[in-house]
Amino acid sequence: MTQDQYVESILAKYAVPHGPTSPAEQLGSAVAGPIRTWAGQQLNALEYSGSYAKETGVRGISDVDVFISLKADTQGTLKDLYNSLYALAQKQGWSPRAQNVSVGVTVNGTLGDLVPGRVQSGYQNYHSLYLHKRDSWTQTNVSLHVQTVRDSGRVKEIRAVKVWRFLRGLDFPSLYLELFTIQALAGSSRTALAENVLHALRTIGTSLTSTRIEDPANTNNALSDELTKQEKDRIAGLAAQSAREQSWGKIIW
């Protein structure tokens, strides 16, 4: 087995099921009715986002994100809307968890994140989201995130780095990881999968602490600020160590 074949086999092992019968879409179907009733005429769109939409999910560790787009004239503060959605999840028995921009839920054993956002007046895909941890708000464009990552040509490498992250129990926020990997592989071959993954790990090892990664939908939002220097140092150290391993079985498995 070649190195590329080994990495492909690991990606197959952690592949996320897609389609109407997948756990992700079954959760989506289960929450859609109550959410549509909750939002009423103010619902602009209800769609999958996050790793499921970007095709960078890792089986067994990836939640499914459901983005709830509310019209620009929806009344109430972003905090009010967030708290109202949390109350809906409680009423439905979805075991809600308050997270930074989402309400975490569990439906029939499947984990999901419900992300409410209000369209910014005059824009189609730009939304304002409530930041629960800071009691503030941020601007984002979920469609742009999905397109940027899914169409990058680096989905396999991203998934391999996510498997590596999972196996070491690291807190490395997904969009930050995805965009860092894409940037690290700029100009690299499109066919050297294993070498690309090693290159991404080497770059994490040498440059994570010094590289600024911005939200493509909001350059004022530095995704790289989501981790402390100590957290980055730990990730970087483990990435450098993994990149030096002589056996792929010690990198991802």
Residue 124: its pLDDT value, please?
Answer: 86
Domain 152-250 is found in CATH 1.10.1410.40 = yes
Interhelix angle 193-207/155-167, rounded to 10 degrees, is 60
The pLDDT value recorded for residue 243 is 98
Model confidence pLDDT, tens digit, residues 130-169: 999 899 999 999 999 999 999 999 999 999 999 999 999 9
Neighbours of 192 (CB within 10 A): 15
Residue 141 confidence (pLDDT)? 97
Give the model's pLDDT for residue 60: 84
Q: Which two tokens stand for residue 71?
A: 């019209």
At 26, the amino acid letter reads Q
Amino acid 140: pLDDT: 92
The list of the chain residues with pLDDT below 50 reads none
What pairs with residue 104 in β-bridges?
97, 113
In the chain, what are the helix, strand and coil shares in percent, each to the nearest 5? 45, 20, 35
CA distance 112 to 57: 13
Q: 101-117 pLDDT, tens per residue?
A: 999 999 999 999 999 99
- Output the pLDDT for position 58: 96
Report, at the CATH architecture level, how domain 23-141 is classified.
Answer: 2-Layer Sandwich (3.30)
Neighbours of 174 (CB within 10 A): 22
Backbone angles phi, psi at 133, to 5 degrees: -70, -30
pLDDT score recorded for residue 63: 80
Q: What are phi and psi of 10, to 5 degrees?
A: -70, -40
pLDDT at 129: 97
Tokens 């009715």 sit at which residue?
A: 33
The pLDDT, as a whole number, for residue 227 is 96
- Compute the distance between CA of residue 119 and CA of residue 131 in angstroms, rounded to an integer: 16
Structure tokens at 178: 């995805």
Residue 142 near residue 117 (C-beta atoms within 8 A) = yes
Q: What is the pTM of this model?
A: 0.92
Would you list the domain boundaries of the chain? 23-141, 152-250
